[in-house]
Structure 1
Amino acid sequence: MDPNVFFGEKTEAKLYIGNLDMRITEAALIKMFSPYGKIVHEEFLLHTHGRKRGEPRGFAFIQYSSEEEAKLAKEKMHGRLACGRPLVVRLSSEKYLIQEPHNPSGQSGEATKTSHSASSSGQMSRTSKIAAIKNKLKALEGEGFSAKKQKQDDIPCSNNSIDHPSVQR
């Protein structure tokens, strides 16, 4: 396999998949994402040392053969429930940005800021995480999010096999 396909100029076709349930296997992940295009490479990350060695880390990367396929998979799978957890799917070239909460009073509290050291290391403070979750919930409520409807779209976890609802058998 050409290393430039995964690490070079084709990174716009590479997806980050996060918030994976520990029951989701590498095969199940490929099965979930294969209906959207040709997967040319995948990286299912495991802990390499310590007490959790060999266990899934909760995220993976999938490389499609084209940017269009990656964007379609992102559109269809982001926020989709898998084993009861919403998947986080984004192009690996996208940076994760936390929206600051709308603060009509103009005050900037601790919950609206992240420390420089936390953001540079990729870590977030507890208050920042809580603020981000609250913002996401408000945005979902504003979009008319229905938890009941979302539950119907859950990709179930059973016997380490995950059926893709859009695939006809």
Structure 2
Amino acid sequence: MDPRSFTDEKSESRLYVGNLDLRITEAALIKMFSPYGKIISEDFLWHTRGPKRGEPRGFAFIQYSTKEEAKLAKEKMHGRLACGRPLMVHLASEKYSEEAPKNSSKARGEAIKSGAASSVSGQMSRSAKITAIKNKLKALDEGRDSAKKQKAS
């Protein structure tokens, strides 16, 4: 048996659950995700040092017994509100950065408007980042100037 195939199989049935409200407990998370299949393990991540030590980090991993259960849970739970926040649910093997531009047309529109359109791979070039920063600073300056004019009159 190839150890890599076991790792691939495991990561295909493992979900990343992000954007968790700090009030959500491990028990609540398991209760939300258990209707979609048998949960083998759950890793709820906590801050281990610093001023937030002992507080939840806002994401967790859930391992299902099969990849079909994990995919079903992803379909049903991604975007669902929990404590007023939409859950971000992805297979742990997926790259979030590849999926984010597809789902965020507003962010993509803002990047194009600011002259910071990204390449096909989702990576911004250095010059595009500089252009985006300059445009943001210009917009902030224009906002300040208009606020000063309104105060003066």
TM class, shorter-length: 0.5 to 0.7
Shift in Å at residue 8 of structure 1?
A: 2.0
Q: 1:107 to 1:27 in 2, by over 3 A?
A: closer
2:113 and 2:55 mapped to 1: Cα distance?
43
Q: Deviations 1:92-137 (Å, cap 9, x if unpaired)?
A: 011112328269xx88713x345579xxxxxxxxx79xxxxxxxxx
Q: Which has the higher contact order (CA 8 A, sep 6+)?
A: 1
Aligned to 1:32: 32
* Separation in 1, partners of 2:86, 2:113: 32
Match of 1:61 in 2: 61
Describe the shift of the 1:72–1:52 C-alpha distance in structure 2 as closer, same or farther (beyond 3 A): same
- Percent of paired sites with the same residue: 67
Distance 1:55 1:107 in 2: 38
Map of 2:146 onto structure 1 = none
Partner SS for 1:34: helix
Code of the aligned partner of 2:51: R
* Residue type at the aligned position of 1:73: A
Is the counterpart of residue 71 in structure 1 residue 71 in structure 2? yes
Please provide the CA RMSD for this pair.
2.9
> 5+ residue gaps in structure 1?
118-126, 129-169
Q: How many residues align?
A: 112
Q: Which runs of 4+ in 1 moved over 6 A?
A: none
Q: Deviations over 1:110-166 (max 9, x none)?
A: 3x345579xxxxxxxxx79xxxxxxxxxxxxxxxxxxxxxxxxxxxxxxxxxxxxxx
In structure 2, the gaps of 5 or more residues are 127-131, 134-153
Tell me the SS of whatever aligns to 1:8.
helix
Amino acid corresponding to residue 7 of structure 2 in structure 1: G
Question: Corresponding residue for 2:91?
Answer: 91
Length-normalised TM-score, structure 2: 0.64
Match of 1:48 in 2: 48
User: C-alpha distance in 2, partners of 1:13/1:51?
Assistant: 34
Cα deviations across residues 22-72 of structure 1 (Å, max 9, x unaligned)?
000011000000010000011000000000000000000000000000000
Partner of 1:109: 115
| TM-score calculated relative to the size of structure 1 | 0.58
